[in-house]
Structure 1
Amino acid sequence: MDYSPRIVDAELTAMLAGLPAIALDGPKAVGKTATASRRAGSIIQLDDPDQLALLQADRERITRLSRPVLLDEWQTFPAIWDTVRRSVDHDARPGQYILAGSASPTKAPAHSGAGRIVHLRMRPMAFSERQLTPPTVSLGTLLAGPPAAIEGASPLTLEDYASEVTRSGFPAIRLQTKEYRSATLDGYLSAIVEHDFPEAGYAVRRPATLRAWLAAYAAASSTTASYDSIIRAATPGDAVKPSKATAQDYREMLTKLWLLDQVPGWLPSRNRLKGLGQAPKHHLADPALAARLLRVSAETLINKADIGPAELRNGPMLGALFESLVTLSVRVYAQAAGASVHHLRTHGGEHEVDLIIERPDGRVVALEVKLSGTVDDKDTRHLRWLADEIGPDLVDSAVITTGKVAYRRTDGIAVIPLGLLGP
């Protein structure tokens, strides 16, 4: 399979030029091995029993190999983390080790590696990485300010965006035909329940209950639904429901497997904005996983609005999963720009902004997401409210749409089709 360039490529290359060891984190099948292998001088695949046995017999072997040394699926042998840490304590030259992991180990390393091993997150493919149409608007430029001209035209339709929601951002999965893609996603989800959970240290007593919880979590995509409501939605009519402790175990394990990618509530550092809620917005790592858990195709998402438990949402499921696709993409672009991603919601829900991208200095770009090709004043009211509240701390603002044209409104707010937004 030909390698598809990733935005994280440049980040990894830059980090290897200045740091001795990088931990490349992300879910299975996201492309970590392919990306890291292109920069590695030596590769040890720790999910291979023979290679693992050799390393267990002689951990110091890694210090004699060509650099960088890629330790793939390092979490299967957590002791190697401390070996790397000690190695860079003695020799801190840059570009020595890449530790690629698809789970946090059950038994944490003795030392965190702080100051020696730096983490880099790899997510499924952002929209621009899928090469459907060239982006004309850069999130990095929006963050840099001042507001610049916005332009560009996109050929993509609502059907194209629905297709990308279900097609997946996992490189190998998205290249399969629709029929085989569904089967592969089913296998991926089954492996999480039947293999990855036990391997990460949690015995699943009732796999069907975990699957139901995952489906309910998928239905809560792009919401701040409470965990109690997710549990109720997962067990309608059941007298015995998973406890909060069980739900907490599910969340912890899925977080260890990099499969939950919640967006935290925004805590401003530069202004006095008060009354903000801190509940996270729920997202799975790839919206295609959510769609498959809900057993919906692109056609179903377009033609049926009432998908999933009504308790968990008040809008069409396609809108929620389109927001997940936007969020995935924005997180990839923001990471490359050194920014962090949050959402804003006041305690009473009077004001909400889907995505707040915060620069290191605390100034922000605010984005709303709309499943439509048109934008009116009602769609920008929360962005205008935020501008009034924080003034110059708002560098720029935009509505991300499924439309055809990128432009600036007369009030200065940008309108950008997702297909035209890039890093």
Structure 2
Amino acid sequence: MEYLPRAVDRVLDELMEDAAAISLDGAKGVGKSGTALRRADHAWFLDDPDQAMQLQADPRFISAPEGTLLLDEWQLDPPIWDSVRRRVDEGAPAGRFLLTGSASPASARGTHSGAGRILSLHMRPMALHERRGAATTVRLADLMAGDAEIAGRSSWSLADYVDAIVASGFPGIASGPARSIGRQLDSYLARIIDRGIPDLGASVRRPQTFRRWLAAYAAASSTTTSHAKILETAASEDGSRPAKTTAIAYRDHLAQLWVLDEVPAWEPFRVSLGRISQSPKHQLVDPALAARALGLSSSALLSARGAHMIGPLFESLATLSVRAAAQVVDGRVGHLRSRNGDREVDLVVEGPDGRVVAFEVKLSTTVRDDDVRHLLWLRRQLRDDVADLVVLTTGEAAYRRPDGVAVIPLALLGH
């Protein structure tokens, strides 16, 4: 399978120059192994019993060859994490260990956090600008620097964006025949139930109940809907629904597997914006999973039946792209919403220097004054801390409005 360059490539190469051990984390299938293998001199796959046994027999890596060692799916043998941490303490050279895992270190019971020894780098499915045929003209790095040239034209239509939503950012799924993508996404969801969650030491006793809850969560994509409301939505036709404790367990397990990828609330440190909501914005790791959980194909999203979800899932796609690009500039991504809901900014990227680029995501080809009022309000509050303001659209041209807000078709945004 052809390797498509990822935004995380640049970050990983920079980290390997200084760090002895790096954990490339993320959901199953996002491409961690493919990215790591391009940099590894030797690889051990912990899902191979023979290779796992070999590592268990040599936890100090005494017989391991020189160079970069890849330990793939390390969470299947959690003591490996602590072995690597100890080798770092003993002076392992830069770039010695790469670990890839489909569960967070916190889910591996008994392991040390590795803080200060093992750097963690989160990898997500392919953003729009990482997929085949991408032709971007505006870089997030330039927006963060405050000197971006806003130009370019996109040939993408609404139907193209919808196709991108359902096509998936998982490399192994997206590279297959279009007719099989839905089946592969079904298999992905099934493997969460029969393999992913059991690997965490838990189980899903009622798969249909889990699927109803997951569909309810997917329906809340790009919103701050309360978990209690999501639980109500998960009720079956006879009124039965998961217990609250069960729903909490679902959330915890899917977060540990990186399948839930909520956008945290953002609040500036240097300026008070009043009463800000601390509720995260709900997102699944890939908008294609959300669409599949809801039974929505591209044609359904473009029909009356799926019209209510096309906007939220377009925002999910935009969120995936902004998050991937933000890693290159070491930016943290959040959303902003006042407690009473009168002020809301879809995405805020904050750089290491405290300056921000704020985004509104609009499922439209046109942008009116009312669409930018929250962005302009934020600029009045933060003043010089705002590097740029952006509306991401489905339009054709990238341009800057007279009020300074950049209007950028999502297909033109890169890292």
| TM class, shorter-length | over 0.9
Q: Corresponding residue for 2:368?
A: 376
Aligned counterparts, 1:25-104, within 5 A? 25-61=25-61, 64-104=64-104
Q: Corresponding residue for 2:170?
A: 170
1:328 aligned residue (320, 323, 336): 320
Q: What is the Cα deviation at residue 90 of structure 1?
A: 1.1
Q: Corresponding residue for 1:2?
A: 2
Aligned counterparts, 1:143-154, within 5 A? 143-146=144-147, 148-154=148-154
**2:139 counterpart of 1:138:** yes
Q: Corresponding residue for 1:191?
A: 191
* Deviations, residues 174-201 of structure 1 (Å, cap 9, x unaligned): 1222221111110000010122111112
Distance 1:269 1:245 in 2: 34
Find the residue that maps to 1:152 and give its secondary structure.
Answer: coil
Question: Does structure 2 retain, via aligned residues, the 8 Å contact 1:62–1:69?
Answer: no
Amino acid at match of 1:333: A
Find the residue that maps to 1:204 and give its secondary structure.
Answer: coil
* Deviations, residues 237-277 of structure 1 (Å, cap 9, x unaligned): 44443232221111111011011110011121121111110
Q: Corresponding residue for 1:318?
A: 310
* Deviations, residues 115-169 of structure 1 (Å, cap 9, x unaligned): 11000011100111113341111111111115x4311011111111000000000
Distance 1:238 1:17 in 2: 58
Q: Corresponding residue for 1:364?
A: 356
* Deviations, residues 331-374 of structure 1 (Å, cap 9, x unaligned): 01001111000001111111111001111222211100001111
Distance 1:293 1:370 in 2: 23
Distance 1:239 1:300 in 2: 27
Question: Does structure 2 retain, via aligned residues, the 8 Å contact 1:63–1:87?
Answer: no
Q: Which runs of 5+ in 2 are unaligned?
A: none
Distance 2:177 2:40 in 1: 32
Distance 1:334 1:6 in 2: 12
Amino acid at match of 1:122: M
Q: Corresponding residue for 1:129?
A: 130
**2:347 counterpart of 1:355:** yes
Q: Which runs of 5+ in 1 are unaligned?
A: 308-314
Find the residue that maps to 1:70 and give its secondary structure.
Answer: strand
**2:377 counterpart of 1:385:** yes
Find the residue that maps to 1:216 and give its secondary structure.
Answer: helix
Amino acid at match of 1:118: L
Amino acid at match of 2:122: R
Q: Corresponding residue for 1:408?
A: 400
Q: Corresponding residue for 1:111?
A: 112
Amino acid at match of 1:195: R
Amino acid at match of 1:158: L
Q: Corresponding residue for 1:253?
A: 253
2:334 aligned residue (331, 342, 358): 342
Question: Does structure 2 retain, via aligned residues, the 8 Å contact 1:46–1:72?
Answer: yes
* Deviations, residues 195-243 of structure 1 (Å, cap 9, x unaligned): 2111112121111111111111111100000001111111144444323
Distance 1:245 1:363 in 2: 40
Q: Corresponding residue for 2:233?
A: 233
* Deviations, residues 297-318 of structure 1 (Å, cap 9, x unaligned): 11111122x54xxxxxxx7211
Distance 1:74 1:383 in 2: 43
Query: Share of identical aligned residues, percent?
Result: 52
Question: Does structure 1 retain, via aligned residues, the 8 Å contact 2:347–2:360?
Answer: yes
Amino acid at match of 1:270: R
Distance 2:192 2:63 in 1: 34
Find the residue that maps to 1:303 and give its secondary structure.
Answer: coil
Distance 1:321 1:419 in 2: 15
Q: Corresponding residue for 1:310?
A: none
